[in-house]
């Protein structure tokens, strides 16, 4: 019996299988990397590579990040300072609070990104851990989607994003009390989601309940 001691993938094949202006290859997930996060992304039609974000938001886990420009030409902005980054440039952002973004100066610009929490075992970020939630939700399997949220909350107790999505599923399942309870916890943890609560149709069954009005007021 043979034992496989390595795995590999093709970035080009991965990008070709994606659609949209930005395309991703989720290397960590696809190869089963356990020690750090590693992904690749490419700007195909538009300029945007990385939307402005930090690593302390609802979907992050305080990662130290490194990006390598594999091809093309990017411009990073970190805390308001621009970094010109042609192919071969490495950009290191150690502080999770730093705001960062990147645009492509050439079509086909490709970034390789790596990240992890310094000195701590790797775990998928809340955003990545919720990846399986969305196809289940779209398929109408709200029980299974809710189970994904509860699983995320085992690792990220009190995470606003997971609590909000759990509340959405519970509202769709007719569990009004549970939905309102988790929505309240979500908005306490992540006040920025209040606008989402006001417009998300998943929560329509709650809108006539005075408790909902008190939560979003």
Q: Where in the chain is the domain with CATH 1.25.40.10?
A: 126-216
| Domain ranges in the chain with CATH number 2.60.120.10 | 11-116
pLDDT tens profile 118-149 = 999 999 999 999 999 999 999 999 999 999 99
Residue of 133, 207, 203 whose CA lies nearest to 168: 203
pTM higher than 0.85, yes or no?
no
Q: Which CATH architecture has domain 11-116?
A: Sandwich (2.60)
From CA 197, how far away is CA 139, in angstroms rounded?
A: 21
- Report the alpha-carbon distance of residue 154 to residue 158 in Å, rounded: 9
Model confidence pLDDT, tens digit, residues 136-189: 999 999 999 999 999 999 999 999 999 999 999 999 999 999 999 999 999 999
Mean pLDDT over the full length of the chain: 95
Q: Taking a C-beta distance cutoff of 8 angstroms, is the pair 104, 73 a contact? A: yes
Fold of 126-216: 1.25.40
């Amino acid at each position: 019996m043979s034992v496989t001691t390595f795995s590999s993938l093709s970035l080009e094949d991965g990008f070709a299988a994606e659609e949209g202006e930005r395309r991703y290859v989720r290397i960590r997930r696809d190869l089963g990397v356990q020690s750090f996060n590693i992904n690749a992304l490419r700007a195909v039609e538009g300029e945007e590579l990385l939307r402005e974000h930090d690593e302390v938001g609802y979907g992050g886990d305080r990662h130290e990040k490194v990006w390598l420009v594999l091809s093309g030409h990017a411009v990073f902005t970190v805390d308001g300072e621009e970094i010109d980054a042609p192919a071969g440039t490495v950009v290191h952002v150690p502080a999770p609070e730093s705001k960062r973004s990147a645009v492509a100066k050439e079509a086909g610009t490709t970034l390789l990104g790596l990240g992890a929490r310094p000195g701590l075992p790797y775990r998928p970020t809340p955003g990545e851990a919720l990846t399986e939630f969305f196809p289940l939700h779209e398929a109408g399997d709200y029980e299974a989607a809710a189970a994904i949220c509860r699983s995320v909350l085992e690792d990220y107790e009190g995470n606003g994003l997971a609590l909000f999505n759990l509340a959405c599923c519970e509202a769709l399942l007719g569990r009004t009390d549970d939905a309102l309870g988790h929505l309240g916890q979500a908005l306490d943890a992540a006040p920025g989601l209040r606008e989402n609560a006001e417009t998300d149709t998943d929560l329509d069954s709650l809108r006539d309940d005075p408790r909902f009005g008190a939560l979003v007021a």
